[in-house]
Chains A and B, each alone.
Chain A
Amino acid sequence: MEIHRYEKIWLAGALLLIVGFIATISYGAVGAGIEMVDDDGGQIEPNAISDHPKFSEPGTYKTGENEYDVYVVAYQFAFDPGTSDPIRVPANSEVTFHITSRDVVHGFEIVGTNANTMAIPGQVATITVEFGEPTEYGLLCHEYCGSAHHAMEGSIQVVPQSQWNESMVVN
């Protein structure tokens, strides 16, 4: 098969570009340690969330020095916690969110950040986020979940360490 010289150069360039993309993304995943949402969170029975040791009482759990777990249940059309009560975490902490849905597929996006995951019934999504200075973030559902999807929102309060107290954690 006859391949024109320019075509060969182009082909080589294209392959180089592709390999380059894969290399940078692999570096991001392995070297820089950008974590992906994966199957770590395990499964949960969506109709029996109240039997789960943590999801039955969703909220912030302290797991270590400056380390917290936040359990969030998404449902048509709210986050619990998040919507009626904001999610509260202390400033300068490392927080792992555990998110599931008790009905349909929802999304979980901390507005203006790349903390972004799906909430799929039967699955638990986990994402770990570093919080810095005290502030407030918006929270929204970014997957269509029914006719009031646009009303599904909430907030996350990053509370100053000085104001952080026992009543803000479940355990």
Chain B
Amino acid sequence: MRQLSPGLFLVLVAFTIPLAVEFRTVAGFFGFDLPFISMILFEVVLLAILTGVYVLGRLTPDEDTATTS
């Protein structure tokens, strides 16, 4: 698993937010009216995935990505 730098992790966290906010708009576009809470749930799921990737990357440091940023 690729190692995420803390900086990149933070930036990716930022990117999940427009995804979550617009997720509902897109669903609405296709005729599904999702409640507000779904946006929060979606965001939580995205954050969980990201954190998972981040933590796993930290636990299994691989040699070739020596460029830490």
Q: Are A and B close enough to touch in the complex, i.e. CB under 8 Å?
A: no
Give B residues with C-beta under 8 Å from A: none
Give A residues with C-beta under 8 Å from B: none
